Amino acid sequence: MPEAVSPANPTASFDAEITAALGMRSVVLVGMMGAGKSTIGRRLSSRLRLPFMDADTEIEAAAGMSIPDIFENHGEPHFRDGEARVIARLLEGGPAVLATGGGAFMREETRHRILDKAVSIWLKADADTIMKRVKRRADRPLLQTADPTATVERLISEREPVYQHANITVWSRDAPHEKLTRSSSAVTCCNRWAPGSALCGPACEQRS
């Protein structure tokens, strides 16, 4: 239960109202690799005073190996099966902020479970922004291709029509993380599970 906050701190009061309105629902961040789901998720969890969980980290703990090793040794279908089980378990664990992998929301059963049990936020990023953030990392199995930029553009084209089913969209651009966190926090209140906020601005789109 969040602590009582002073009326002199409207931001803390606002965040506490969001947490109360969420009830037993979690906030689930979806979107492409490099969109900032883990970074924004940690900051958002701090603001809302909810636990933060990273689905990829939980998958690695359950499997006893890294995600690249799972892909290499067992293939993507095996990974997606495990991912679905882990996310289902995490969503049953009470309210939290959960960052998911880029492909998690693409699986129908996982998507329906998230939409049923959580408020979903799509952190939307363009290909240039994503490549700036991931080009120095070698732990992205889906980018081990001859043309990573073309791969990212293809994945965006394939996935965005599905990501659009998320309850809320927040653009993830080259802005300070705290600004993106404030956008994610404010727009959560615009959702039907936390109504009454007038803070939903042009950076976000609300979905029913």
Segment 131-143 mean pLDDT: 69
Domain annotation covers residue 34: yes
Segment of 8-22, 57-71, 137-151, 165-179 carrying the highest mean pLDDT: 57-71
Segment 14-30 mean pLDDT: 82
Segment 69-81 mean pLDDT: 93
Domain annotation covers residue 5: no
What percent of the chain stands above pLDDT 90? 49
Domain annotation covers residue 104: yes
The whole-number pLDDT of residue 168 equals: 87
The whole-number pLDDT of residue 132 equals: 86
Segment 126-132 mean pLDDT: 90
Distance, in Å, from the CA atom of 138 to the CA atom of 162, rounded to the nearest integer, reads 26
The whole-number pLDDT of residue 55 equals: 97
The whole-number pLDDT of residue 165 equals: 95
**Please, what is the average pLDDT of the chain?**
79
How would you classify the pairing of strands 97-99 and 26-30? parallel
Over the stretch 92-108, which tens digit does the pLDDT of each residue have? 988 999 999 999 999 99
Domain annotation covers residue 79: yes
Query: Which CATH number do you get for residue 130?
Result: 3.40.50.300
The domain containing residue 48 runs over which residues? 10-206
Please answer whether residues 106 and 33 qualify as being in contact, where contact means their C-beta atoms are separated by less than 8 angstroms.
no
The whole-number pLDDT of residue 83 equals: 96
Domain annotation covers residue 157: yes
**Structure token digits, residue 188:** 């959560």
Distance, in Å, from the CA atom of 203 to the CA atom of 181, rounded to the nearest integer, reads 12
Strand partners, 27: 97, 119
DSSP string, the chain: -PPP--TT-HHHHHHHHHHHHHTT-EEEEE--TTS-HHHHHHHHHHHHT--EEEHHHHHHHHHTS-HHHHHHHH-HHHHHHHHHHHHHHHHTS-S-EEE--TTGGGSHHHHHHHHHHEEEEEEE--HHHHHHHHTT-S--GGG-SS-HHHHHHHHHHHHHHHHTTSSEEEE--SS-HHHHHHHHHHHHHHSTTS---S---TTEEE--
- The one-letter amino acid code at 24 reads M
Q: Which of 11-15, 20-24, 103-107, 135-139 has the lowest mean pLDDT?
A: 135-139
What is the rounded (10 degree) CA torsion for 133, 137, 139, 142? Answer: 60
Domain annotation covers residue 3: no
Segment 124-146 mean pLDDT: 76
Domain annotation covers residue 19: yes
Domain annotation covers residue 4: no
Choose among 29, 39, 52: nearest CA to 187: 29
Q: Is the dihedral angle over the CA atoms 165, 97, 73, 110 positive or is it negative?
A: negative
Q: How many domains does the chain divide into? A: 1
Residue 186 has pLDDT above 70, yes or no: no
